[in-house]
Structure 1
Amino acid sequence: MALEVYLYFDGDAREAVEFYSDVFKTPKEHISTYAEMPDDSNMPSPENAENLVMNTSLLIRGTTVMFSDVYPGSGMRSFHKGNNVSLLISDPKEEVIRNLFDQLKNGGTVISDLEETFWSPLYGRVCDKFGIYWEIMVYDSETDG
């Protein structure tokens, strides 16, 4: 069994995939677009939706993260940026955490800067330029292994 993350975007999923692929140095998978969907008279394709991302994924540090643009006008899902999902990245190396934090905060908002906490020698939170909340932390590999 695996837990995977599915992130929805408002037309900028392709840009998000490019950004996260660069940040986490992971290869991009095939991007399926809404143009590849079979024709359905019950759900006509909205204008300019054909290049939106229907589905793609990245393998980020062992976890599959799925990406999709919300299909405009479908009524299946409406897009709302929010803080109901936070992705946690941890690593035993401080330089790795500082580098990831610096990249993710570029164009975003720092919620809490990197600092020592009672649970981590270095922890911070950032909302990136796509409205995704990240918790970034160093863990002690000898005790949390």
Structure 2
Amino acid sequence: MIKTGTPYLYFYDECDDALNYYVDILGAEILEKATFEDVAYMEDPSRKNCIAHASFKLGESVILANDFLEKKSKENSSGSSQTSIWLELEKVADIKLLEENMLATGSKSIIKLEETFWDSLYAKIEDKFGIIWELNAQK
């Protein structure tokens, strides 16, 4: 049986920026962060400060992240690796504030905040790094 599932986010040399963004906007707590230089993975010295591995905490959940090991660009990437993370928020006021903060910092709304058939407020937002966040708050 599966004990737990942990999202793993991959970035195009933007992982450190994304981590800082998640700290500022989502209140994430960085648990660990190592660069390619830290782990002695230096195929391309210009990428020594890219993130080889990181973990951060959102509420009680831990999420893993890193930059792709090989140099890639969003424009030349074959296919789209979509990642969606569901965040259950404690209060209706929390979801409204989070949606507002994310949209004010370059994220785009996929589904605007709305009431749902499952008696919640819900919004779906793609952040400026291409990660999709599903925000939900029970009424």
TM bucket, shorter chain:
0.7 to 0.9
Q: Secondary structure at the match of 1:100?
A: helix
Task: Letter of the 1:8 partner, please give it.
Answer: Y
User: What's the Cα RMSD here?
Assistant: 2.3
Residue number among 100, 103, 111 corresponding to 1:102 in the alignment: 100
In structure 1, the residue matched to 2:37 is 35
What runs of 5+ residues in structure 2 fail to find an aligned partner?
A: none
Q: CA deviation at 1:5?
A: 0.9
Q: How many residues get paired?
A: 133
Of residues 22, 25, 28 in structure 2, which corresponds to 1:26? 28
Q: Which residue of 1 aligns with 2:10?
A: 8
Distance 1:104 1:120, change over 3 A: farther
Give the structure-1-normalised TM-score.
0.80
Larger Rg: 1
User: Post-superposition shift, 1:83?
Assistant: 6.3
Measure, in 2, the Cα distance between the counterparts of 1:64 and 1:117: 27
| Equivalent AA in structure 1 for residue 46 of structure 2 | N
**1:79 Cα deviation (Å)?**
5.4
Q: Any residues of structure 2 matched to 1:22-101 within 5 Å, and which? A: 22-38=24-40, 45-73=43-71, 82=80, 84-101=82-99
Tell me which stretches of 4 or more aligned residues in structure 1 moved more than 6 Å.
none
The residue that corresponds to 1:118 in the other structure is 117
Measured in 1, the distance between the counterparts of 2:60 and 2:24 equals 16
Deviation sequence 1:13-69 (CA, Å, 0-9, x none): 001001111222233233201112346xxxx61141111000111111111111100
SS at match of 1:14: helix
Task: Name the aligned partner's letter for residue 99 of structure 1.
Answer: L
Distance 2:79 2:137 in 1: 27
Query: Does the Cα contact within 8 Å between 2:29 and 2:58 map onto a contact in 1?
Result: no
Letter of the structure 2 residue corresponding to residue 119 of structure 1? W
What is the aligned-residue identity percentage? 24
Distance (whole Å) between structure 1 residues aligned to residue 113 and residue 26 of structure 2: 19
Q: Distance in 1 between matches of 2:91 and 2:56?
A: 22
